[in-house]
């Protein structure tokens, strides 16, 4: 009997698909039944091999071996995933399989994950593509009724390959180039480095900021508080305050304006990550992980989207979701008002996936089983839908100009006239405040601010006002949070593009979270509360890198080119040639860095001189190593000879051994006598390796009783 092979990205997704298809029989690594075989990839099973796979000389980092430019790219399967790959390879080559369905996530990375396995397996079975935006049973059923030929996604795969090759080439070559030149591990990345550069630039602005004082005069009377313009001179402000204190003030002008604000759009991934960080303090990676779980549990639609709209055919679904929202999220009862569902519909602004929504399956789900994080994120998505279709918010802003003793003062206030979508925002803010005290929202925007007394009219007189001068200080720029950093990444390079250019910024919605995590794990940035601060290492790295590697506009242009490749509108060969040219620039630039500049970066403490080549020796985590990476010398802290005497080589011992070839040690251990003793440890070099022996000075007492 012929079978259809379905390969998804994760076991949980495969199980959901298998249930819909009727493949209930569990086998080792897959499910089968009803003419279907359903298995999974465990994420990236195969990735581009490291440089040493292209030649043993690449095991050691040497600037003269660069560039590393594979003529034929090798894919390696991770050892821990080899069993599942072998299984998939066997399934793809089964004679009863008529065609395979790529059911990996519907995006660039999902295409890459499947196609790498398919190509490595050597299979020739035809491929069809499942493209869905929800894990609901009905969405899966409709998806299988409308499978596309895999060839229709060739451009998407081409773009994913270009992205992967570009990241490998820039990362491997630039990292090795700068590391070998500066004798310090320096990690460079196509997207990572411009992102770090933005963080460093902001930190430099903060560090270089010099606050300056300025002064205002405040007058108060009849419930009105008004302030003057800025004074740079304190004496002048004090003089104005003295003149006005107890004096008569006149209302010279009153202006009232109605200010309308439109409801927000639906969430794409980046805006949801930003809101979750601002309100709940979640990192972008945390939000994506919880969102992915909600997606796999069929409660929300596909997360990795850059669209904030839905398509016309979803109008009924949107209405059904709106009808059920108050039951799912009780805080919405009494605050929802559906004014215009058409506002969230725009076919032209939906490409691969629509905005993030709750699913119809969520309407009957038991949300009490969700974790706190999942419930918070689900609530965010639900209330955003309610806001997006609500009416506009209208507030009345009042500006009052007062004159006193010949000086002008201004008072401002606002009051809400029509809540509109702000009613939902405020209900959500109250729910967050009641249930999650740590949360912060902007819900107070919907309340009256700087409320002025009613009945203020022109020519009114305030017979006596109190006046005082106030000192203020200018403020430095604020450090980035994940909220503001994601926004900066999304809009990076916009000024350099024409208005009609579809801008993608640094990375994509699906990859920005991982970029931030890479910066943290590399030690280039740290999280301080909700702030993201560059470390000294991050600051120093950006200081030495050339501008073109830090350029946000160049990286954003690459993202635009990748999008063009994805849509069949740009040439992949041209894109890769640009990456090759960049690597040539990197190597030429590194080759011409002055020696004094290279030396100035090294802050490591020199332990001694290498006994083989004479270069400086530095301390590492496990050994004392030669700064010349082509040299074989290493003095291991734990070595076979000394470990038997319960001794490891410390910094002082290493310095003695390198300078004198010997070091005196007082607490060596003898297992035979179960006691400690002292002796000189001698080191000599034999065929490039260090060997050790003991020498007992006659003037020293050899044995000590064990304490």
Radius of gyration over every alpha carbon of the chain, rounded to an integer in angstroms: 33
> Rounded to whole angstroms, how far apart are CA atoms 391 and 383?
14
Cis, bond preceding 262 (omega within 30 deg of 0): no
> Which ranges in 636-681 belong to alpha helices (H)?
640-643, 651-660
Give the predicted TM-score (pTM) of the model.
0.81
pLDDT at 499: 45
Residue 302 annotated as catalytic: yes
pLDDT of residue 635: 92
Task: State the 10-residue block means of pLDDT for the chain, 707 residues long.
Answer: 93 94 95 97 93 93 95 93 96 96 92 96 97 91 95 95 95 95 90 95 96 97 95 97 97 96 96 96 96 94 93 93 95 93 93 91 92 96 97 96 97 94 96 64 50 89 96 96 94 60 72 94 94 95 93 87 92 95 95 85 83 90 86 89 91 94 92 90 86 80 48
Answer for the pair 199, 535: CB distance below 8 angstroms, yes or no: no
For residues 329-350, b (16+ Cβ closer than 10 Å) or e, as one string?
A: bebbeebbeeeebeebbbeeeb
548, two tokens: 């073109």
Beta strands in 562-688 (DSSP E): 608-609, 616-619, 623-626, 634-636, 662-670, 675-686
Distance (Å, rounded) from C-alpha 101 to C-alpha 148? 9
Q: Which two tokens stand for residue 506?
A: 């640094």
Note the pLDDT of residue 603.
65
Catalytic residue selected from 267, 302, 309, 524 = 302
Centre a 10 Å sphere on the Cβ of residue 461 and count the other Cβ atoms it contains. Answer: 10
The residues, any chain, with a CB within 8 Å of residue 603's CB and separated by 6 or more, are none
Q: Is 204 exposed, middle or buried (0-12, 13-18, 19+ CB in 10 A)?
A: middle
Pick from 103, 100, 82: which is nearest to 9 by CA? Answer: 103
**Other beta carbons within 10 Å of 636:** 16
Answer whether 380's CB lies under 8 Å from 276's CB. Answer: yes
pLDDT at 501: 44
The predicted pLDDT at position 699 comes to 53
Picking from 352, 335, 356, the residue whose alpha carbon sits closest to that of residue 344 is 356
Both tokens of 380, joined, read 């965010």
Per the rule left: phi > 0, alpha: psi between -120 and 50, beta: everything else, 483 is alpha
């Amino acid at each position: 009997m012929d079978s259809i092979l379905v390969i998804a990205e994760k076991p949980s997704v495969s199980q959901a698909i298998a249930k819909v298809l009727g493949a209930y029989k569990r086998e080792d690594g897959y499910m089968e039944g009803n003419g279907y075989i359903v298995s999974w990839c465990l994420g990236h099973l195969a990735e581009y091999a490291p440089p040493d796979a292209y030649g043993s000389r690449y095991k050691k980092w040497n600037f003269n071996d660069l560039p590393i430019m594979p003529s034929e790219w090798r894919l390696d399967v991770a050892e821990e995933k080899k069993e599942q790959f072998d299984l998939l390879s066997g399934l793809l080559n089964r004679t009863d399989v008529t065609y395979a369905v790529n059911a990996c996530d519907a995006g660039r990375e999902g295409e890459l994950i499947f196609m790498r396995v398919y190509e490595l397996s050597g299979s020739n079975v035809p491929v069809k593509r499942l493209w869905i935006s929800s894990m609901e049973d009905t969405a899966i059923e409709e998806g299988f009724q409308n499978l596309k030929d895999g060839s229709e996604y060739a451009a998407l795969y081409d773009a994913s390959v270009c992205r992967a090759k570009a990241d490998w080439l820039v990362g491997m070559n630039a990292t090795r180039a700068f590391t070998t030149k500066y004798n310090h591990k320096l990690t460079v990345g196509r997207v990572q480095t411009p992102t770090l550069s933005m963080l460093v630039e902001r930190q430099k602005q903060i560090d270089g900021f010099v606050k300056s004082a300025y002064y205002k005069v405040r007058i108060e009377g009849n419930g009105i508080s008004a302030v003057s313009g800025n004074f740079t001179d304190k004496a002048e402000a004090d003089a104005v305050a003295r003149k006005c204190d107890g004096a008569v003030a006149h209302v010279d002008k009153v202006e009232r304006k109605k200010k309308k604000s439109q409801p927000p759009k639906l969430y794409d991934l980046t805006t949801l990550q930003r809101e979750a960080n601002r309100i709940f303090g979640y990192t972008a990676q945390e939000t994506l992980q919880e969102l992915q779980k909600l997606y796999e549990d069929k409660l929300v639609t596909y997360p990795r989207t850059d669209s904030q709209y839905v398509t016309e055919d979803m109008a009924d679904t949107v209405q059904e979701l709106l009808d059920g929202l108050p039951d799912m999220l009780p805080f919405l009862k009494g605050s929802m008002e559906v004014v215009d569902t058409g506002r969230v519909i725009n076919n032209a602004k939906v490409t691969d996936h629509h905005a993030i929504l709750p699913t119809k399956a969520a309407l009957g789900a038991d949300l009490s089983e969700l974790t706190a994080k999942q419930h918070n994120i689900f609530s965010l998505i639900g209330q955003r839908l309610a806001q997006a279709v609500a009416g506009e918010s209208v507030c009345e802003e009042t500006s009052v100009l007062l004159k006193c003793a010949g000086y002008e003062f201004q008072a401002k206030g606002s009051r809400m006239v029509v809540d509109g979508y702000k009613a939902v925002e405020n209900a959500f803010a109250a729910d967050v405040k009641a249930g999650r005290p740590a949360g912060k929202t902007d819900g107070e925007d919907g309340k009256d601010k700087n409320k002025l007394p009613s009945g203020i009219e022109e020519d009114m007189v305030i017979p006596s006002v109190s006046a005082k001068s106030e000192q203020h200080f200018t403020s430095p720029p604020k450090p980035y949070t994940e909220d503001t950093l994601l926004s900066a990444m999304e809009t990076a390079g916009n000024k350099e593009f024409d208005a009609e250019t579809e801008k993608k910024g640094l990375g994509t919605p699906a990859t920005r979270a991982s970029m931030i995590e890479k910066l943290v794990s590399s030690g280039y940035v740290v999280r301080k509360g909700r702030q993201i601060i560059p470390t000294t290492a991050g600051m120093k790295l950006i200081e030495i890198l050339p501008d073109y590697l830090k350029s946000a506009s160049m990286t954003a242009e690459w993202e635009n080119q990748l999008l063009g490749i994805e849509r069949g509108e740009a040439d992949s060969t041209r894109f890769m040639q640009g990456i090759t040219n960049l690597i040539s620039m990197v190597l030429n630039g590194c080759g011409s860095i002055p020696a004094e500049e290279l030396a100035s970066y090294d802050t490591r403490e020199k332990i001694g001189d290498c006994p083989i080549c004479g270069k400086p020796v530095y301390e590492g985590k496990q050994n004392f190593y030669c700064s010349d990476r082509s040299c074989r010398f290493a003095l291991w802290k734990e070595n076979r000879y000394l470990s038997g005497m319960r001794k490891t080589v410390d910094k002082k011992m290493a310095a003695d051994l390198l300078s004198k070839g010997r070091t005196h040690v007082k607490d060596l251990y003898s297992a035979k006598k179960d006691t400690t003793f002292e002796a000189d440890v001698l080191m000599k070099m034999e065929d490039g390796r260090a060997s050790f022996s003991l020498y007992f000075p006659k003037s020293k007492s050899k044995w000590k009783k064990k304490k």
